[in-house]
Structure 1
Amino acid sequence: MINGAHVIVYSRDAEADRAFLRDVLEWPHVDAGGGWLIFRLPPAEVAVHPADGPSHELYLMCSDLAATMEQLAARGVEFTAPVSEARWGRTTALRLPGGGEVGLYEPRHPTAHGG
């Protein structure tokens, strides 16, 4: 029935953010036409948290937050939040070239995607 998910990241500079995903994160992609890149995501999962109203967040997952931050920093990535330690994992956030932020997350719980 459902065979995938399509995540949309809105950006003030979509071309710069596409280049970031292509060149810095090195994600495989297809060109849907005219340079409109669509990226293959790593395995993913969805969690539903209680809230007062609709809201969505995007977190990229990694198995070693410190090592991933070191690799990304060497590629010029700016981190916008200190590492936060929680019972369920470690998080930070990184700046996209278009001005947005994306979370980066090392889970300390079983993952649904098996990674």
Structure 2
Amino acid sequence: MLARDETKVTIADIALALSGGTLQRDRASMSSNDLNQVDRMVGGHLEAARRRAGLSVIGVCAAIGVDEIRYRRFETGRERIDAVSLQRICRLLGVSPLDFFDTLSEFRADVEDRPRWMC
């Protein structure tokens, strides 16, 4: 779990937490390529959701308070999106954060197999 002094939770952290282990152990066991793959997948979902909503990059940036370069890095997976930015984007686009993880079947399967009290 996160230490109390760690306040920035990223999408990859959420995905790793959903996998059932602690973030430190899971992060160490996943290669940087695996983490980059998650970032690219989330970015692709982010871009698709923005396009479905009919919004421009500049419009999203203005609404959530992120500069255009950083936002484009989110969509390409070159920068890991933090939880606060994801929450703002989801509210703006009318989607759930879970929508960004629909293709992470190994994470979903693990969560669905757990007793409710563990989720």
Identify, as 1 or 2, the structure richer in helix.
Answer: 2
What TM-score do you get using the length of structure 1 for normalisation? 0.26
Q: Which gives a bigger RCO, structure 1 or 2 (Cα 8 Å, sep 6+)?
A: 2
What TM-score do you get using the length of structure 2 for normalisation? 0.25
